[in-house]
Amino acid sequence: MPFMDWSDKLSVGVAVLDEDHKHLVALANQLHAGILDGHGKEALEVVLGELASYIQFHFAREEQMFAESGYPLSEEHRQEHEQLARRVVNLQARYAQGALPSLSIETMNFLRGWLLVHIQGSDKKYGPHLNANGIH
């Protein structure tokens, strides 16, 4: 049973961004499966590495769409991206110092919180704006 399931509640109405978000859900599920299989440390290393690179790609994609469409909350949203990226860097640094068993759980819960709070909150705000500007 997966840790998280994708649902329409997470959709922002922009197909490519929904696919990005599905990838983030898959990372949370990958970490959860690794923990259940007794490979939490190894799964954490893989997930943190993928997460660090993927968020750069994803955030850049969102911010490019904001620039193209003149999204009025783009600066506020960019700052949220910076906070999320700093959190991932912090998790990576803590892992490098010696992965604690609780760090896997913390990272998994961070991903779930991010997906549920950030996507259903901040990201949902941009969907109608992007759609109104021809970005679906």
Average pLDDT for residues 2-22, to the nearest whole number? 95
Instruction: List CB contacts of 71: < 8 A, sequence separation 6 or more.
Output: 65, 77, 126, 129, 130
pLDDT at 101: 74
pLDDT digits (tens, 9 = 90+) for 109-120: 998 998 889 999
Average pLDDT, the chain: 93
Average pLDDT for residues 7-36, to the nearest whole number? 94
Average pLDDT for residues 112-133, to the nearest whole number? 94
pLDDT at 1: 81
Domain that residue 35 falls in: 13-132
Q: Is residue 107 part of a domain?
A: yes
Residue 39 is given by DSSP the state -
Phi then psi for residue 88, to 5 deg, are -65, -45
Q: How many structural domains comprise the chain?
A: 1
Average pLDDT for residues 38-54, to the nearest whole number? 92
Specify the residue for token string 């990226």.
Answer: 85
Q: Is residue 117 part of a domain?
A: yes
pLDDT at 99: 66
Q: What is the CATH number of the domain that holds 65?
A: 1.20.120.50
pLDDT at 77 over 90: yes
b/e map of 117-136 (b: 16 or more CB within 10 Å)?
ebbeeebeebbebbeeeebe
Token duo for residue 23: 């990838």
Average pLDDT for residues 68-91, to the nearest whole number? 96
Q: Is residue 104 part of a domain?
A: yes
Average pLDDT for residues 124-131, to the nearest whole number? 97
Q: Is residue 5 part of a domain?
A: no
pLDDT at 26 over 90: yes
Q: What is the pTM of this model?
A: 0.93
